[in-house]
Structure 1
Amino acid sequence: MFFELQPLRIQAGWKITYNNFTEYDISIHGEEYSYELNEDLLQLISDKANIIIDLGWYVNGENGGNYIIQVVKEYDWENPVEKVVTWSKVEIIACIEKWTCYEFYTKFV
């Protein structure tokens, strides 16, 4: 099965480093297509605010895995300024769309 890229509402000013974030949703499509999930799903960079939004799927022993999305300032990967761990794709999309809004990311400029 082929999955299109996930539509997202992202405001101007962001560069896409990579985008492998598809419409696949494990809660809808099941684990058969879980190859769509990996640690490098989406990375966005704002040069103006010097922040990175990074999204990946990380496998764990408890429930199979979770999305982890984080905002990293000035490449300080050890201390993200925002971080969400969830199994919910809806929550991840909401984070991306909120965090790429001008009102959110300009507090880091």
Structure 2
Amino acid sequence: MNLQPLRIAAGWQVDYNQLYEVDPISGYEHYFEGSSLLMLRNNARLKLIDVQWRPERDLNGEFQVNVLNFVENFNSKTNKFDIKPNWEHPFLSFTTKSRLKLVEKLEELMQTLPVYKDPRITKKRGVVDELSETYRL
């Protein structure tokens, strides 16, 4: 079975892809298991798109899409940015039973999602000004 064709917009990268060009029908349950089917990331927009099938292996389930904002924290030990998606508070959620509607929605989201603006007070990118942040909170 082939992977689902998807027009990936500029700036998006595929972190994980097990989304196949198959509809949920008997005999194909194994295509609808695992915690994620597709994970897309855009570092410039600070967004993550996660696609799951819930309940797993249940042909009566549905695709669940969660769009997450993520914040960057500079790690001085590795000299890189650690990225933490906010799984508790999705920016947007969407469900559908239709693979084709899912593809349409994903392609739309990649074109239209706004850049996440980190509300924290930072000294520079990924470095929180702890004292100022305590006043903000």
- Indicate whether 1:64 and 2:60 are aligned: yes
1:89 is aligned, of 99, 108, 118, to 99
2-side partners of 1:63 and 1:7: how far apart? 21
2:110 is aligned, of 93, 97, 100, to 100
2-side partners of 1:25 and 1:63: how far apart? 9
- Indicate whether 1:32 and 2:27 are aligned: yes
More strand by share: 2
TM-superposed deviation, 1:70: 1.2
Higher relative CO (Cα under 8 Å, sequence separation at least 6) belongs to 1
**What residue in structure 1 maps to residue 48 of structure 2?**
52
TM-superposed deviation, 1:78: 1.2
More helix by share: 1
- Structure 2 residue runs without a partner (length 5+): 71-84, 118-137
Identity %: 28
Quote the RMSD (CA, aligned, Å): 1.8
For normalisation by structure 1, the TM-score amounts to: 0.83
- Structure 1 residue runs without a partner (length 5+): none
